[in-house]
Amino acid sequence: MKGEMKELKLTVNGKPYELEVKAETLLVDLLRQELKLTGAKVGCLDSACGACTVNIDGKAVRSCSVLALQTNGREVTTIEGVADGDKLHPIQQAMIDHGAIECGFCTPGMVMSAKALLDENTNPTREEVKEAIQGNLCADEGYVKYIEAIEIAAREMRGGQ
Amino acid sequence: MDETFGNYSILGKAIPRVDARAKVTGQAKYAADIEVANMLWGQINRSPYAHARILNIDTSKAEALPGVKAVTTGKDFGGFKWGWSGPTRDEEPLAVEKVRYQYEGVAAVAAVDEDTAQEACDLIEVDYEPLPGVFTPSEAMQEGAPLVHDDRPGNICVEYHWNFGDVDKAFAESYLVREDTFQTPRMAKGYLEPPAVVAYWPDPERIVYIGAKGSPYFPYRILAKCFDLPLSNVRIITPIIGSDFGGTKNDMTPADFSAVMLAKKTGRPVKFVTSQFDALTTDLRRHPMWITVKTGVTKDGILKATSLKAVADGGAYTRISPLTMFLVGTCQTLPYKLPNFKYDAYNYFTNNPSSAAMRGHGLYHSRFAADVQLDMIAEELGLDPVEIRLKNSIENPKPGEIYETVNDVHVATCGVQECIEKVAEAVNWKARKGQKKVEGDTAYGMGFAAATYNSGTKLSAHNACAAIVRVCEDGSVNYLTGATDVGQGSDTIMSAIVAEVLGIRLEDIDLKRVDSAFTPVDPGSYGSRVTVHAGEAATKAAEDAKSQLLEVAAQQFGVKPGDVDIKDKKVFVKSSPERNMAWERLVRIACYETPGKVIIGRGYSTQGISMYGLADFSKGVGDIGTNYSFTAQASEVEVDVETGVVKCTDNNVIAHDCGFPLNTQAVETQVQGGSYHQGISAAVYEEFKMDSGQTLNPNLVDYKRPRAYEAPMTQVIHVITNDPYGPFGAKEASEGSCCSAPPSIVSAIHDATGVWIKDLPAQPEKVFWALKKKREKGQK
Ligand code: FES
């Protein structure tokens, strides 16, 4: 029933949570409004822009397209959980160094899509890189430097090979 | 290896963005991420009609809903109207007597949460008397057509008639005269971040407004007027902004006004976050335009005259249309020499959402039309597209000389010839001739285009653009700017300029984004003006602070201020550099020694105002830009001749003359993005579909936006011209590539298939039918 509170146990960025949520709460609203993790952005709520992308058990998922309850027992990683303390993830570092970021609104989603790809495969083809971020709209930078930055990060993750 | 240009410590190479770390870790706060204690949520009640009289608004049921704290309607604003300039103030914060486009705001609610606010909005009862509307310029111009504004006969929003030289005589003398009509689509601005705002009144005399605005000093002035407060009491704070591209994030929205009004009524902060549906149905769009170009050339393809007629759908309110129509015409005399030029502009009110500026503002429409037509002319004359461009393009003036167009546009530097040559070389243009162009169902083709864009736009009011450099006593520096980085990278450039001038490191600069309580005034992010104007202000403010410090240094070393300098955080006597001290020590001496100085550097831009005076819109003369960027582009496409699907290949090269690339990386990213998102996308993907004022594809699934798998891996070549009117020689980057991309794509489609698509976007269906028609014609 609408408004009814349900129990939810999940891990977000390595931290376990036991929460009460409404059945209709979207994951993105849980993250942004309840947990105050505003790194995932809301661009459309139609699963079209990818700005809200997070990783659930290592897979890139648009957090506006799943209910919070669907993450019960799962591990959610948001952009806030990607860096290791002060040390940035190679994807983040490459995006900075390569000048991929402009307004940055799509960046968290872009990082999460790239991370899901590179966690599985550190040697993707260019087509695979493009495919991994095809659900992430960017408005201003033309994708070129994002694609190249992900390739640079992949090389870094392979130990410079 | 990244290229570097010039002999600077920081500028002229790849500079990492100052805001990149916050953005890539999710820490950057955008307007929708901001929460203020005790905050309420707002929602707008919108009209279902595109044109209707408002007979009555009953808010009683909404007010009675538990959780609702206040409701506002247009009447609360006491007849206040706003607009781009004095004579164009034709819009109310919320419609009072009449709605003029679908989903125009009529009332607003503040409630304890978003759902309650939405529910209350649905309970507001508005009685409308639907009116017949006009939905295209051709409907709007009919005799006896319904009027969008009762006091604007003929639905004419803007009309210009300019005439330079003798066009008729030139046509009579021409070897070939061609006339073609082109069409550009109604487009979304393209930002992913929908507008959002949080507003509150810290006391009954003061407003705090935190919103996604690329030109925060617009709301500063407009809200002061609207709520009858001195400017000193209006505090506009800019969070990080998720792109703009002109329009809504420059201007006001019903939510902006309503947030402030409802905060006043409730005494609590009120937050509005626009949905993407509302953004796509009500935010400002790029003007759809019908452009008829008549061009006369000699036998050798030298341009003799152009007569241009532009008809635009301005939508419901004037907004910035007078400037749009000016821009469509003014730069037609660039980047090619054009001795005779005539321009007739008509912009009509319709019952569609308002049109406004968008990346490539104005020039994109006319350059598309004229550059494609140039290829048609070249084809008729048997000339090569590169050859005809090189023949006609303006030569780079010698240092100290100025090229003046027939309509009094002044160009000090023009790298268009070098751009054309470099692109032709990079894509091996000559070798392409006679190559096999078809593989199975895929036809390949390449198109060429050149373009210009005005940078450092200057308008007749609100040009003041200032900066403050505050040197803290430990040697760290605050840079206070009125300029707003909406993603283009100006925070980085401004910080880099200040660090370069002061002779310290980029990390020593802490830039303060706009907070109108502390930062100096600036017109905002539009018209590619920020680098040129705010960059000049930054340079001057840093020089001012530096000269104050050099005076102290000179005293310390017992020399004249001109004998000392600062580099790599060291202050030294120029003639004997071993006499030096650390930057921090100098600052400490300046601040601590009796009586103790406060080092504050001030600067403001002057380039925009002096020189040749301001542009005259009605006569069509004068400079809108302080200087002008130039671009050449070659694009290759593959066309599926069975389905009509057009795709760019990675064979896409742009050479861009931005004068001097202050941040090479940012220039490249801007140029690639400008080309793809607002150029190529206009050429092949994007268009709002409308039916009687209703937007039929108001979501990012049905409204096609360019994605990564279709993106060409565009290569950018820097062309250096060192413009005397830009800081460190700089001109704009990115709007030029918005203008060169569409003609290069359309010419590429023609090269591949033989069909000319004059009506953008070249979506598959359009290309399919054009190919079918061509095949059938061939069979006959
Ligand atoms: S907000 Fe989830 S895909 Fe756009």
Contacts of B489 in chain A (CB under 8 A): 102
CATH number of the domain that residue A66 is part of: 3.10.20.30
How wide is the angle at C-alpha B155 spanned by C-alphas B152 and B160, nearest 5°?
Answer: 90
Q: Identify the pLDDT of residue B56.
A: 98
Q: Which atom of ligand 1 is nearest to the CA of A41?
A: 1
Residue A100 shares a structural domain with residue A151? yes
Same domain for A100 and A62: no
Give the CA distances from residue B692 to residues B97, B134, B187, B465, in Å, rounded to whole numbers and listed in that order. Answer: 21, 8, 17, 42
Domains of chain B: residue spans and CATH: 20-27+465-605 (3.30.365.10), 34-131+193-242+249-282 (3.90.1170.50), 289-458+613-779 (3.30.365.10)
Phi, psi (degrees; rounded to nearest 5) at B395: -80, 150
H-run or E-run covering B291: strand B289-297
CA dist B555 to B11, B561, B758, Å? 30, 8, 69
Select from A78, A146, A147 the Cβ nearest to the Cβ of B26.
A78
Which amino acid would we find at residue B436?
K
Contact A96, A114 (CB under 8 A): no
Nearest by CB to B672, which of A43, A130, A144? A144
Range of the domain at A119: 90-157
Q: What is the pLDDT of residues B349-368, one digit of tens each?
A: 999 999 999 999 999 999 99
Instruction: Report the pLDDT value the prediction gives residue B433, as an integer from 0 to 100.
Output: 73
Asked if residue A120 and residue A70 are part of one domain, the reply reads no
pLDDT at B129: 98
Q: Is residue A104 part of a domain?
A: yes
Contact B699 A46 (CB under 8 A): yes
**Tally of CB atoms within 10 A around B562:** 10
Q: Which of A31, A49, A80 is the last residue of a domain?
A: A80
Q: Are A42 and A98 within one domain?
A: no
Stated pTM of the model: 0.96
ipTM for the predicted complex: 0.98
Separation of alpha carbons B671 and A159, rounded Å? 32
CA distance A33 to A30: 6
Between CA A108 and CA A115, with CA A111 as vertex, the angle to 5 degrees is 140
Ligand 1: residues with CB < 6 A are A 42-45, 47-52, 62, 64
A37-60 per-position pLDDT tens digit:
999 999 999 999 999 999 999 999
Phi first, then psi, for residue A65 (nearest 5°) are: -100, 0
pLDDT at B434: 66
Q: A60: closest CA among A13, A118, A105?
A: A118
- Residue A128 and residue A148 in one domain: yes
Q: Which amino acid is at B525?
A: S
Asked if B514 and B525 count as a contact pair (C-beta separation under 8 A), the reply is no
| Domain shared by A9 and A73, yes or no | yes
User: How many angstroms separate the CA of residue B32 from the nearest CA in chain A?
Assistant: 9
Domain count, chain A: 2
Give the per-residue pLDDT at B608: 59
Which chain B residues are closer than 8 Å to A133 by Cβ? 708
User: Rounded to whole angstroms, how far apart are CA atoms B417 and B424?
Assistant: 11
Q: Examine residue A27 and state whether it is found in any structural domain, yes or no.
A: yes
- Residue B51 to residue B134: CA distance in whole angstroms: 9
Residue A134 forms part of a structural domain: yes
Which residue in A has a C-alpha nearest to residue B679's C-alpha? A142
Instruction: Among A55, A80, A105, give the residue marking a domain's end.
Output: A80
Q: Reading across the β-sheet that carries B715-719, which strands appear in turn?
A: B438-439, B442-455, B627-640, B646-657, B715-719
From the list A88, A96, A140, the residue facing B677 with the nearest CB is A140
Residues A68 and A129 in one domain: no
In a domain, A19, yes or no: yes
Distance (Å, whole) CA B587 – CA B191:
43
Query: Residue B267 CB: number of other CB atoms within 10 A?
Result: 13
Q: Which residues of B touch A44 (CB under 8 A)?
A: 192, 276, 699-700
User: Are the Cβ atoms of A143 and B708 closer than 8 angstroms?
Assistant: yes
Tell me if A121 is assigned to some domain.
yes
Measure B708 CA to ligand 1 centroid, in angstroms.
Answer: 16
Interface of A with B in 5-44 (CB under 8 A): 32, 37-44
User: DSSP letter string over B329-385?
Assistant: HHGGGSSB--SEEEEEEEEEE-SSPPEE--SSTTHHHHHHHHHHHHHHHHHHHT--H
Ligand 1: centre distance to CA B279 (Å): 14
Whether residues A32 and A96 fall in one domain: no
- Same domain for A61 and A108? no
* Whole-number average pLDDT of chain A: 96
B141/chain A closest Cα distance in angstroms? 35
Judging contacts by C-beta atoms under 8 Å, the chain B residues touching residue A137 are: 192, 700, 705, 707
| Distance from the alpha carbon of residue A44 to the mean position of ligand 1, in angstroms | 5
Q: Which of A80, A108, A129 is the last residue of a domain?
A: A80
Candidates B645, B642, B632, B637; CA nearest to B746 is B637
How far is it, in rounded angstroms, from Cα B671 to Cα B634?
A: 13
Please name the residue of chain A whose CA is at the shortest distance from the CA of residue B2. A98
User: Which of B243, B668, B699 has the CB atom closest to A103's CB atom?
Assistant: B243
Question: Any chain B CB within 8 A of the CB of A113?
Answer: no
| DSSP E strands, B641-676 | 646-657
Tens-digit pLDDT profile for residues A58-71: 999 999 999 999 99
**CA of A73, closest CA in chain B: separation in Å?**
24
CATH of the domain at A144: 1.10.150.120
Amino acid identity at B482? G
Tell whether A85 is covered by a domain: no
- Residue B463: the pLDDT is 82
Mean pLDDT split into 10-residue runs, chain B, 780 residues: 85 96 98 97 98 98 98 98 92 98 98 97 98 98 97 97 98 98 95 96 98 94 97 97 88 96 98 97 96 98 98 97 96 97 98 95 97 98 97 97 94 97 96 81 96 88 90 97 92 97 97 96 87 94 98 96 96 97 97 91 80 83 92 97 97 97 95 93 97 97 95 96 95 93 97 96 97 90
- CA-closest candidate to residue A35, choices A1, A74, A68, A7: A68
Q: Does the pLDDT value for residue A1 go beyond 60?
A: no
CB contact under 8 A, A102 and B240: no
What does the pLDDT read at residue B1?
45
On whether residue A12 sits in a domain, the answer given is yes
Which chain B residues are Cβ-neighbours of A127 within 8 angstroms? 709
Q: Are residues A75 and A118 in the same domain?
A: no
Instruction: Say how far apart CA B262 and CA B274 lie, in whole Å.
Output: 16
Q: What is the pLDDT of residue B87?
A: 87
Any domain includes A143: yes
> Which strands, in side-by-side order, build the sheet including B509-512?
B509-512, B477-481, B466-471, B599-604
Contact partners, residue A20, CB within 8 Å, separation at least 6? A5, A6, A7, A8
Residue A144: list chain B partners with CB under 8 A. Answer: 669, 672, 711-714
Nearest to B701 among A46, A80, A127 (CB): A46
- In A54-93, the residues whose Cβ lies within 8 Å of chain B are 78-80, 82-83, 88, 92
